[in-house]
Chain A
Amino acid sequence: MLQGGFIFLIALLYIGLLFAIATYGDRRAEQGRSIISSPYIYALSLAVYCTAWTFYGSVGRAASSGVGYLPIYLGPTLTAVLWWMVLRKMIRISKVYRITSIADFVASRYGKSSGLAALVTVIAVTGGVPYIALQLKAISVSFQVLSGRPTPTPTESLLDDTALYVTLALALFSILFGTRHLDATERHEGLVAAIAFESLVKLPAFVAVGLFVTFGLYDGPADLFGRALARPEFRRLLTMEEALGPGAYGQWFWMTLLAMLAILFLPRQFQVAVVENVDERHLRKAIWLFPLYLWLINLFVLPIALAGLMAFPGGQVDADMFVLAIPLAHGQELLALLAFIGGFSAATSMVIVATVALSTMISNDLIMPILLRIRFLRLAQRGRLTGLLLGIRRGGIVLVLLLSYLYFHAIAHAYALVSIGLISFAAVAQFAPAILGGMYWRRGTRAGALCGLIAGFLIWGYTLPLPSLVDAGLLPVSFIENGPWGVGWLRPYQLFGLEGFDPISHALFWSLLFNAGLYVGVSLFTQQRVEELLQARAFVDVFRLSGRPGEATWRGTAYVSDLQQLLRRFLGKKQADEALRPVLAQGGGTVTATAEVVQHAERLLAGAIGSASARVLIASVVKEEPLSLREVMDILDETQQVIAYSHELERKSAELERATRELQAANERLKELDRLKDEFISTITHELRTPLTSIRAFSEIMHANPNLPEAQRQEFLGIIIKEAERLTRLINQVLTLQKLESGTVELNLEPVRMQEVIEEAVEAIQPHVQFNEITLTVSVPETPCYVLGDRDQLVQVLLNLLSNAVKFCNPEDGRIAVRLLVEPDRVRVDVEDNGPGIAPEDQATIFDKFRQVHTSTGRRPPGTGLGLAIAQRIVQHHHGRIWVESDPGHGATFSFTLPRLPASDGMPQPMRDTSRLNL
C-alpha cells in the first residue's frame, strides 16, 4: 500500500505539470507559434471523451455485462465516419459566426434567441453536473483504493476528503487557463495542450495494466480467457443474450445511438472538437486517429475485468477499481501508481474542459442576457465590462464544480460510474433534433426547437434522474413500482406501459420521440421570423455562403465610434481596435457605419458574450429600422439568384469543356482520316504504276525491236494483256469500293438461295483451285435457305474470300473448306484455309483497304488488297457481319453472317456434302 500523503503529493505534482504545460502552450500562442496546430494534438484533445468512466467504469461494466461496455465506443467510431460531413459543417458554421458554445450554436441558428440559449444551458448543466461528479467520485475512490482503504465510504469530514482539494486545484486550473482573457474566438491553447498531454498519459497507463495482466499474470489472452471460462459462472459473459439479459440487441442499439449523439453534443466535446479547432483540415486525420485511440484504450478492458473477477471472487473489490486493485494485489505499486495517474488524467481533463465549456455557457447564454435585459443596470452604457464578464465566468466555474461536488456527496456514491455517465449522455442527446435539423433543414423554427427541447428534457428528467432519487432514499420505492399516485402508465421505467426496455433505452426512446416529433411537427405549423429565416439559411448553406461578403440584410444608422466603444468595453481597447482595424480601413473612416461593419462588430461581440447577448447590445447602439419579411425575401431571392447564376456558370463551363474535348476528338479523327486518304492514294498510285510500268516496258521493247521473234512477241503481248486486265480489275474494284462507301451502290434485292451463291462462286474459282492443286470441300444443308440480297454482290463476297483463300493456301497440300450453317435467324458462311494464318494483331485490320498482311517470307502477296475490304462493305450493306478467326500457323477461317429470310421450318438443317471436289 502507498501512503496517502505520498499519493496526494504525486497528484498535486501532476496538476503542477499540467499548469506548466498549459502556461507554455499559452505563451507560445501569444507569440503566434501555436503548439496545438497539429492534427495529432487535435485528435488527442478529442480523446477527452475517454474519462474516468472509460478508465475505471468500462472494466466495471465488462465484469457484469461482458462486451456491454463497447457501444459507448463503437457509437463515436460510427459518428467519426460521418464527421467529414457533419462535424466539418459545425466547425465552419461556428468559425464564420464566432460561436463559442453549444447553447450559442442552437440559439444562433434559431434567430439568436436568448430563451433557447438559456434552455440549452440549463439542460447542459443539469446533464453535465452528474458527469463531473462521476469524475470526482472516481478520483476520490481511486485515491482510497490506492492508499489502502478497500471499501470506499463517503467521507465523514469534508476536510479529510482528497477529492475536495483536487476539486479546488482543478477549479484554479480552469479559472487560470479557461478565463485568461476574453477573446473573440474564445480559444484556449494552453488548456488544449494540457488536455492532449493527458490523453498521452492515460492511454499508456491503461495499456500497461492490460499488458501486465494479460502477459504478466497469464500467458497471453488465450491462457487468460481459457482459465476464466473454465469457470461456469463466467461463461455468461460470452454471449450478448446472457450478458445483457433480455432485449440485449435493443439495448445495444440504443446505447450505440446514445454514444453517437454524445460524441457530437457533449459540451466538452463541442468545446474541443469545434471551438478549439484551429484548422478544419485537422479533421481528416482525427477521423481515423480518434477511433484508433478508442480501439487501443479498450483492447484490454475485458481481460482486466476477467482477471479481476478471478482475483477477487465474490465482490470483495468493486469491479470499477480492478485497474488499481490487481496491480496492488500483486505488489506492483509503481504500476498501480501509473494506473492511478492515468485515471487521474482521464478524470481531470474531463473536469477541466467540461467546466470551462459550461461556465462559458452560463455566463454568455444565461447570466449576460439576463443582466442586459435588466434596464436599470444600464450595462450597455457602462465602462469596461471585461472584468465583469470574466468574473461571471469564474463564478460559473466555481458554481459548476460546487454543484458537482455536492452531487457526488449526496447521490453519486450509490451508483456505478457507468450509470451516472449514461444519464448525462441521454441529456445531451436532446440537442440532436434541434442541431442536426437546424444544420440540414431550413424549415426548422425556433418554436419547434423550443417545444422539442422542453419535451425531451422533461421526459429525460422524469425517466432518469427522478427515479434515481428513489435509490438515494428521497422518494418512496412505490414511485417506481406503481407509478406516482398509483397511476400505472406513469411508472418512470415503463412510461405509457412500454415494457421490456432497460431504463436508458426506455428514456432515450421516449425523449427522442417526443423531442424530434415536436421539433418537426411544430416547425411545420409555425412561421419563421425574419432573423430566424436569415440564420436558418446561414447555417444550412454555410459552405455556399461563407467566403462571400455578408449581404445587407440590415438597415439602419449606426456610428462607428459607438460600435468601437461597445467593443472596447467587452473586449478591451487593444483587442477591439485590432479586430476592427481591417473593417475601418475599408470603410475609409466614415462616421456612419456600413451594414458590413455593424455585422462584423456583432460577430466579434458574439465571440465574447454569445450571439443572443450580442444582438441585444448591438440593438442598443444602432437605430435599426426593422426590415419587413417582404424585403428580406427580396434580398434572399437576389442572393439566391446570384448563387443560381454562379451554378449556371459552373455548369456552362463544364459543358464547354466537354464540347472542347469532343471537338478535339473529332479533330484527331479527321487527321487520322486525312492520313488514311494519303496512304490510300499513295498505295493506289503504286498499284496502278506497277502494271503500267510493265505494260510500257514491254510495249517499248516491241516498239524498238520490230524484228522480235514471233514467239517472244506473243509472250510479251500476253503479259501486256494480263497487266492491262489487272489494271482494269483494280480500277473496277476501286470504283466498286467507292460506290459501296459512298452508298450510291444500287442493291438489286431479291430472295437469294445461299446454296446457289456458293455453287456459283465455287464454279468461278474452280480453274484457280485446279491450277494450284487445292482440295476444296463444300458442305451445305439440303433444305434451301434464303437471304434478301443482291445475288451478284454476294457471289462477289464469296469469290473474294475464296480467291483470298486460294492465294494463302498451303502451297504443297492446299485445302479449303466452305461451309454453310443455317441458324434460326441468320445464315453463316465459313471459308477455311490451311495457310500460314493471321497474327492476332493483324486480325482487326485485315479488312482495311490495301491492307496486305505480309507473309513470313516477307514476300508481298499477289492481288490488290481490296478484295476483303469490298467483301466487308458488301456484307455490311446486307446488314451482316464479317470477321476472321485464325490461329497463326494453322490457317484462317473467314466467316460472314447474313439475316435469314423466314423459311418453311426455320430449324437448322443437318449438314451433308453436296459436292466433294477432288481436283
Chain B
Amino acid sequence: MTRARLVALFVLGLLLMNFPLLSLFSRERLLLGMPVLYVYLYGVWALVIGLLIWLMERRRTTPPEENP
C-alpha cells in the first residue's frame, strides 16, 4: 500500500513541477511580496516533503513490507 502511495506521490510531484502546470505560475507577479514562480516551486516542494513525512513516519510499529 505504501508503495502505491509513493508512486502516486512521485507522479504528482513530476506533474506539479513540470510543463504545463508549471507554466501557469511563470508570471511576472508577486505573491506575499515574492515572485509567484518562486513561491509555487518551494511550496510544491514542501508539499512533497510533507507528504513523504506523513507516509514514512505514520504507523511506525508495522514492519516494512518485504517483497518488492
Contacts and interface: CB of A to CB of B under 8 A. Distances in A.
B28 A239 contact: yes
Contacts of A89: 68
A221 B7 contact: no
Contacts of A42: none
A437 to B, nearest CB: 15
A84 B6 contact: yes
A295 B19 contact: no
Contact of B30 (A80, A229, A250, A544): A229
A735 interface: no
Contacts of A81: 6, 9-10, 13, 48, 52
B33 A299 contact: no
Given A285-B56, A543-B68, A238 B37 contact: yes
Contacts of A299: 42
Contact of A239 (B30, B37, B52): B37
A299 B34 CA distance: 12
Contacts of A225: 30, 33-35
Contacts of A252: 18-19, 22
Interface string A182-225: 00000000000000000000000000000000000000111101
Size bracket of the B interface? 35 or more
A342 to B, nearest CB: 21
Contact of B41 (A67, A78, A288, A291): A67
A432 interface: no
Interface string B25-56: 01111101111011001100110110011001
Interface in A48-95: 66-67, 70, 74, 77-78, 80-82, 84-85, 89
B3 A84 contact: yes
B3 A85 contact: yes
Interface in A276-313: 281, 284-285, 287-288, 291-292, 295, 299, 302
B26 A253 contact: no
Contact of A77 (B6, B22, B26, B45): B45
A256 interface: yes
Nearest to A293: B49
B23 interface: yes
Contact of B23 (A226, A240, A253, A284): A240
B53 A295 contact: no
Contacts of B23: 240, 249
A750 interface: no
A305 to B, nearest CB: 11
Main secondary structure, interface of B, reads: helix
Contacts of A229: 30, 35
B11 to A, nearest CB: 9
Contact of A288 (B3, B10, B37, B56): B56
A238 B34 CA distance: 10
B61 interface: no
A288 B13 CA distance: 14
Nearest to B67: A543
Contacts of B22: 240, 249, 252
A239 B26 contact: yes
A634 interface: no
Given A222-B32, A249-B23, A284 B64 contact: yes
A282 to B, nearest CB: 12
A562 B38 CA distance: 64
B35 A288 contact: no
A212 to B, nearest CB: 18
Contacts of B64: 281, 284
A543 to B, nearest CB: 5
Given A77-B13, A239-B27, A221 B33 contact: yes
A250 B66 CA distance: 38
A238 B28 contact: yes
Contact of A222 (B9, B14, B33): B33
Given A77-B45, A82-B6, A284 B56 contact: yes
B66 A543 contact: yes
A78 B10 contact: yes
25 contacts: A67-B37, A74-B13, A74-B17, A74-B41, A77-B48, A78-B14, A80-B52, A84-B3, A85-B6, A85-B68, A221-B34, A225-B30, A225-B35, A226-B30, A237-B35, A250-B19, A252-B19, A253-B19, A256-B17, A256-B18, A284-B56, A291-B45, A291-B52, A543-B66, A544-B67
Interface of B: 2-3, 6-7, 9-10, 13-14, 17-20, 22-23, 26-30, 32-35, 37-38, 41-42, 45-46, 48-49, 52-53, 56-57, 64, 66-68
**10 closest A-B pairs by CB:** A222-B33, A249-B19, A288-B52, A240-B26, A81-B10, A239-B26, A288-B53, A238-B28, A291-B49, A238-B35
Given A84-B6, A222-B30, 6 more contacts: A77-B45, A78-B14, A222-B33, A222-B34, A226-B33, A288-B57
